[in-house]
Amino acid sequence: MVENDLLVSYGWTETVAGEYASMIEDGCVPARVIRMDRSECDVATPTGPARARCPRADAEVSGLCTGDWVTIDAESTVRQLLPRRSAIMRSSVSGRSQGQVLAANVDTVLICTAADADVDLNRIERMLALTWESNAQPIVALTKADAAEDIPIEEVRAVAPGASALAVSASSGAGLDVLTAMLDGTVALIGPSGAGKSTLANALLGQEVFATNAVRAADKKGRHTTVHRELRPLPNGGTLIDTPGLRGIGLWDAAEGIEKTFSDIESLAARCRFGDCAHNGEPGCAVSAAIDSGELAQRRLDSYRKLAKENAWMAARTDKRLEAERKREWRVMIKQQRQGYRERDNRR
């Protein structure tokens, strides 16, 4: 068996060991991707950090990302990708039919929003949908609590059923012990640029690992200081992934994530008189009644509709595209296989 003491600090568990055991190849060792750089990556291996190559041609290991568990061979080339227990996906920026994996094998997502600027509830809901869909547990953190006059924590709690929300300050340390106690396994910080993700990451790590930068004075927007998704071991167990500020966050196949984010609306809707109620003032509509009574905000219903519509549109579009793409990949694979046979026959 491989000596995995070093890997434990990078999140190696019995479960990962079990997955690894089922795919052991001669001369390979397990490794965790710490950071990706196009065709190469930094990995943690049983003997320490290393640099590894990622073969692009191998469809199975393309699309690697920070947090992935892989096997690497004696030449430091990534050979296999271990099954992911979670993956944070968004629709790719280029609008291709593939989702982009932001981080893999994440247990807790820390959704960061600066409390000293306008807190955008719609964006928090969007990040919640992305997180629930990924299989990780969300925590909403209102950062820079020291600089905020009043912190809308109750409003945030109301939009995050099933998740915890708290105010923290990396500057004063307020809320950091409570937060630390809530973190579990691999933690990823997400949120817009300037939300204070890297500053909070450094505070949790207990050292200045990640670069930080002041926000623009005029509009409090960040300067996209962080450019890599990078994983580090936390001092008291677990690991942490800092990520670049999200510009747009397109949802990727997030129907379940949306349902969980808006579980309050879903359960109201279950009480509407008509099964196909559109909640537009139909008789016996429990959702409209909740809006009239002030129990549910119109903003939240609008946000729910917007995300559901966007998701449906994306799903319809990718179905067709995926089909075409699969056909193409298949043709490429057959071509490569034929080429392989030819080369083998030539060698004979």
Which x/- pattern over 240-259 shows residues binding ligand GTP (rule: CB under 6 A)? ----xx--------------
Residues numbered 191 to 220 that lie near Mg ion (CB under 5 A) are 197-198
Q: Is 226 in the site for Mg ion (CB under 5 A)?
A: yes
Nearest to 76 by CA among 104, 48, 102: 48
Q: Is 285 in the site for Zn ion (CB under 5 A)?
A: yes
Q: In this complex, which beta carbon is closest to Mg ion, that of residue 193 or of residue 303?
A: 193
Query: Binding partner of residue 285 among Mg ion, ligand GTP, Zn ion, none, CB under 5 to 8 Å per kind?
Result: Zn ion
Q: In this complex, which beta carbon is closest to ligand GTP, that of residue 120 or of residue 319?
A: 120
Residues numbered 145 to 184 that lie near ligand GTP (CB under 6 A) are 146-147, 169-171
Distance (Å, whole) CA 206 – CA 214: 20
Query: Binding partner of residue 64 among Zn ion, Mg ion, ligand GTP, none, CB under 5 to 8 Å per kind?
Result: none
Query: Binding partner of residue 108 among Zn ion, Mg ion, ligand GTP, none, CB under 5 to 8 Å per kind?
Result: none
Helices 298-347 + 286-293 axis angle, to 10? 130
Query: Binding partner of residue 287 among ligand GTP, Zn ion, Mg ion, none, CB under 5 to 8 Å per kind?
Result: Zn ion
Residues 39-47: contacts with CB under 8 Å, at least 24 apart? 41/78, 43/70, 43/72, 44/6, 44/7, 44/10, 45/6, 45/7, 45/72, 46/2, 46/3, 46/4, 46/5, 46/6, 46/7, 47/3, 47/6
Kindly determine how many residues on this chain lie close enough to bind ligand GTP according to the rule CB under 6 A: 25
Q: Is 92 in the site for ligand GTP (CB under 6 A)?
A: no
**Residue 9 marked in a binding site:** no
**Residue 285 marked in a binding site:** yes
Which residues are at the interface with Mg ion (CB under 5 A)? 197-198, 225-226
Which residues are at the interface with ligand GTP (CB under 6 A)? 143-144, 146-147, 169-171, 193-199, 212-215, 222-226, 244-245
Which residues are at the interface with Zn ion (CB under 5 A)? 272, 277, 279, 285, 287
